[in-house]
C-alpha cells in the first residue's frame, strides 16, 4: 500500500464547499470552543461532577470529519469527547447538564463528562478507557458490512496518540483490513499522552505510517486546518462507503489546556510551543481563508459568534437550574430487572 503524504489544501477545496456547509463548519467549531471554555469555568466553580478533559484547540478534527457523516454513521469517542459529541449533533443543553450531574442530562446525570452517549445520533459514547472505543466503531462497521449498508452507515474510531501503542488498536486495524470494513481510524495526535510527549513514547513521528503494515492507506493531516481535515476525511469516507475498506488518518493537532482541568501543561510544555499552535488556531485560519476568498463576510462570522454565545449562556443556565437525579434513580439503567426493589440487589 503506497504511503500518502500530508495534505496541502488549496483555495479550490474551500470554494467547493457550499455556503451552508461552510457556516456549519465555523458554527460548530466555535460552539465546541465556547462549550469547552465554559465547561472549564463551571468545573473550577465546583459545578461539574468529576474530572473534565477539555478539547479546545482540537476543534477542526471532529468538525472536519463529522461534516461528512449522518445520524446513521457511528463514532467511538475518547475521554476528551465533548467536541465529538457536538460535531455529531448532540444538544449542548443536555451535555452541560450531564457534566453537572443533573437529571436533565444526556444520560440523566449518571455518565458525566467521560460517558456521554446518544445512539440516535450515532454517538457510541465517550470512553474513559484509552482506546476502548476503537473496537466499538469497528463493530459498528462490521454490522454495516454484514447488513450491506456501508453506503449509508460507516464507523469512525477517534483516539489519541497515547492509544496508538495499545494492542486493541492493532487487533482492530488487522481485522478491519482483512474484512475490508467501512471504518476510519482517526488518530488525534495532540503531541501528548497526558504529560508524556509522543516523540518520547511512540516509535515513529509518523504514526500514520503504521497503517501500511495492515494493508490500508495512512495519511498524515494538518489537524489545525479544518479544510485539510475535511478533504482527507472525505477521501477516507468515500473509500469506506464504496466498499474499499478502512483508512488511517493521523491528525496533527494541539490541546490548549492541560490533560484535565487541574493539570498545568506548563510543567511539561514550552511557551514557544503553545504560541506556535495558537498562532495557527483553527478558527483564525478559517476566518482568514473565507474572508480573503469572499466566501463569508466578517460581519456574518460575528453574528455566528454572538448566536453561539447566547446558546452557551442558555445551556449553562439550563444545567444550573436543573434538578439533581432522585435517589430512586440510583439502580435504574444498571440491570434490566431487579429481584429486590429496595436494595436493587439480585
Q: Give yes or no for residue 337 having a pLDDT over 80.
A: no
Alpha carbons within 13 angstroms on the beta-carbon side of residue 260 total: 12
- Mean pLDDT, residues 29-51: 97
Measured CA to CA, the distance from residue 43 to residue 174 in angstroms comes to 40
Question: Residue 5: what pLDDT?
Answer: 55
Question: What is the domain range of residue 145?
Answer: 11-329
Of the given ranges (154-158, 212-216, 326-330), which has the lowest mean pLDDT? 326-330
Question: Residue 336: what pLDDT?
Answer: 67
Assign 38 to helix, strand or coil. helix
Q: Give yes or no for residue 306 having a pLDDT over 90.
A: yes
Question: Residue 332: what pLDDT?
Answer: 84
Q: What is the pLDDT of residues 215-230, one digit of tens each?
A: 999 999 999 999 999 9
- Mean pLDDT, residues 196-211: 94
Q: Give yes or no for residue 66 having a pLDDT over 50.
A: yes
CATH number (domain holding residue 91): 3.40.50.970
Q: In the block, which residue shows the cell 450531574?
A: 101
Q: Give yes or no for residue 58 having a pLDDT over 60.
A: yes
Q: Give yes or no for residue 238 having a pLDDT over 70.
A: yes
Contacts (Cβ under 8 Å, ≥6 apart) of 203: none
**Number of domains into which the chain is organized:** 1
In a domain, 334, yes or no: no
Q: What is the pLDDT of residues 260-298, one digit of tens each?
A: 999 999 999 999 999 999 999 999 999 999 999 999 999
CA 252 to chain centre: 14
In a domain, 163, yes or no: yes
Q: What is the pLDDT of residues 3-37, one digit of tens each?
A: 555 555 545 678 789 999 999 999 999 999 999 99
Provide, rounded to the nearest whole percent, the portion of the chain with pLDDT above 90: 89
Measured in degrees and rounded to the nearest 5, phi and psi for residue 177 equal -75, -45
The cell numbers describing 51, all together, are: 474530572
Short-list 82, 91, 79, CA closest to 51: 79
Measured in degrees and rounded to the nearest 5, phi and psi for residue 157 equal -105, 115
Q: Please report, for residues 15, 37, 61, 204, 250, the alpha-carbon distance to residue 253 in angstroms, rounded to integers and kept in the order given.
A: 24, 18, 8, 17, 9
Q: In the block, which residue shows the cell 500530508?
A: 6
In a domain, 95, yes or no: yes
In a domain, 340, yes or no: no
Measured CA to CA, the distance from residue 179 to residue 162 in angstroms comes to 26
Measured CA to CA, the distance from residue 228 to residue 114 in angstroms comes to 28
Provide, rounded to the nearest whole percent, the portion of the chain with pLDDT above 70: 93
CB atoms within 10 A of CB 234: 17
Question: Residue 12: what pLDDT?
Answer: 60
Q: Give yes or no for residue 86 having a pLDDT over 60.
A: yes
In a domain, 235, yes or no: yes
Reported pTM:
0.93
Q: Mean pLDDT, the chain, as a whole number?
A: 93
* CA-based torsion, 61, 63, 69, 74: positive or negative: positive
Q: Please report, for residues 99, 156, 209, 215, 277, the alpha-carbon distance to residue 136 in angstroms, rounded to integers and kept in the order given.
A: 23, 9, 23, 21, 32
- Mean pLDDT, residues 299-316: 98
Q: Give yes or no for residue 242 having a pLDDT over 60.
A: yes
In a domain, 339, yes or no: no
In a domain, 3, yes or no: no
In a domain, 18, yes or no: yes
Task: Give me the sheet containing 74-76, strands edge to edge.
Answer: 74-76, 155-160, 183-189, 247-252, 218-222
Amino acid at each position: 500500500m503506497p504511503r500518502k503524504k500530508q495534505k496541502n489544501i488549496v483555495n479550490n477545496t474551500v470554494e467547493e464547499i457550499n455556503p451552508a456547509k461552510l457556516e456549519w463548519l465555523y458554527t460548530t467549531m466555535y460552539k465546541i470552543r465556547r462549550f469547552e471554555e465554559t465547561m472549564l469555568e463551571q468545573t473550577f466553580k465546583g459545578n461539574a461532577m468529576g474530572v473534565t478533559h477539555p478539547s479546545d484547540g482540537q476543534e477542526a478534527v471532529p468538525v472536519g470529519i463529522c461534516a461528512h457523516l449522518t445520524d446513521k454513521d457511528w463514532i467511538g469517542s475518547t475521554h476528551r469527547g465533548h467536541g465529538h459529541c457536538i460535531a455529531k449533533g448532540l444538544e449542548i443543553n443536555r451535555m452541560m447538564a450531564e457534566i453537572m450531574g443533573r437529571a436533565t442530562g444526556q444520560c440523566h446525570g449518571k455518565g458525566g463528562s467521560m460517558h456521554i452517549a446518544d445512539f440516535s445520533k450515532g454517538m457510541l459514547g465517550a470512553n474513559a478507557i484509552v482506546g476502548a472505543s476503537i473496537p466499538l466503531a469497528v463493530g459498528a462497521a462490521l454490522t454495516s458490512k454484514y447488513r450491506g449498508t456501508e453506503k449509508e452507515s460507516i464507523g469512525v474510531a477517534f483516539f489519541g496518540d497515547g492509544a496508538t501503542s495499545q494492542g486493541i488498536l492493532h487487533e482492530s486495524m488487522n481485522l478491519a483490513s482483512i474484512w475490508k470494513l467501512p471504518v476510519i481510524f482517526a488518530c488525534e495526535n495532540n503531541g501528548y499522552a497526558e504529560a508524556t510527549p509522543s516523540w518520547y513514547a511512540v516509535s515513529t513521528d509518523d504514526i500514520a505510517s503504521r497503517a501500511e503494515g495492515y494493508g490500508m492507506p495512512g495519511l498524515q493531516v494538518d489537524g489545525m486546518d479544518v479544510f485539510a481535515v475535511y478533504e482527507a476525511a472525505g477521501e477516507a469516507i468515500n473509500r469506506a462507503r464504496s466498499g474499499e475498506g478502512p483508512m488511517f488518518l493521523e491528525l496533527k493537532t494541539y490541546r490548549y489546556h492541560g490533560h484535565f482541568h487541574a493539570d498545568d501543561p506548563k510543567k511539561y510544555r514550552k511557551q514557544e510551543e503553545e504560541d506556535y499552535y495558537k498562532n495557527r488556531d483553527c478558527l483564525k485560519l478559517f476566518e482568514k481563508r473565507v474572508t480573503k476568498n469572499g466566501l463569508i463576510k466578517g460581519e456574518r462570522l460575528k453574528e455566528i459568534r454572538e448566536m453561539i454565545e447566547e446558546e452557551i449562556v442558555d445551556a449553562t443556565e439550563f444545567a444550573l437550574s436543573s434538578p439533581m437525579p432522585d435517589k430512586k434513580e440510583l439502580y435504574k439503567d444498571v440491570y434490566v430487572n431487579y429481584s429486590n426493589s429496595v436494595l436493587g440487589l439480585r
